[in-house]
Structure 1
Amino acid sequence: MKFSILTFAIMAISLTSIAQKKSPIDGNWILVEKNGQKLNFQNHQFKTYNQGYFSVIILKNDGTFNSAYAGPFSIKGNVYTETYKYGSKPEWFGWTGEQEWKIKGDTLHMVGHNRIIDPEGKEHPKTEWSQFVEKWVRVK
């Protein structure tokens, strides 16, 4: 019986590792350009992707804390989808946004929001959330 439980535990851990496959964007990123405007060190966003979860810290223009969010993300082709599950503004919990993405070297390009879905599953016009073109650089 002990052998069966041990075998099951090893298989479960192995399957979990397979399910949490590393994505091409896993790592830490800093926002350096938004809508064609280069950003300085006082209005940055820092974003981390790790095995299907993202977290982001957003600063105000004066460098003080604005907000932070986290939740699951997925990538299918050139479509990146993230859902706000945790954060500093609970009214965003459960909202999902879709963006287009591509990577060139250590630069991540994001264009969004292409599709927005509320917590009840209703799609909203993409104009309800800000539209953007962003350039992120990998932090080493």
Structure 2
Amino acid sequence: MGRQVPLVDYLVLGEQPHLEANECTSCGARYFDRRNACASCGATSFHKAAITTEGELRAYTIVSMAAPGVPVPFVAAVIDCDGTSIRANIINTEPDPENVKLGMKVRLATYTVGTDDEGTEAIGFGFAPLEAPDGNR
């Protein structure tokens, strides 16, 4: 296996992949993009905070039309991970309302987005259901 690189800066790869947010040291607000100031309190000091890898589906839509080259359908979602909202796709399940339910438990999962000529893999993330629609794991 070649080298792996995360598709986004806030995806931390390794034995236990996880997301890492920039957390305001004054109020605790979390952001995945780089910030010069906190949108909640205006403070300018941040530190890295690991985000739990399990969460709950809060909102979703099944996308049936996308930019050229983007496979459809897919499930775009908002996941709540202990109070941190994450926008991500639901993966490893059919994009069908029978398989995707508000409140369902999900877990961070990584996958290979592409591989370059040197064998370096770009790694993306999504969230996969913890249980099958029939209640089985």
Question: Shared fold (TM-score greater than 0.5)?
Answer: no
Higher helix share: 1
TM-score after normalising by structure 2: 0.23
Greater RCO, 1 or 2 (C-alpha within 8 Å, sep 6+): 2
Give me the TM-score of the superposition, normalised by structure 1: 0.23
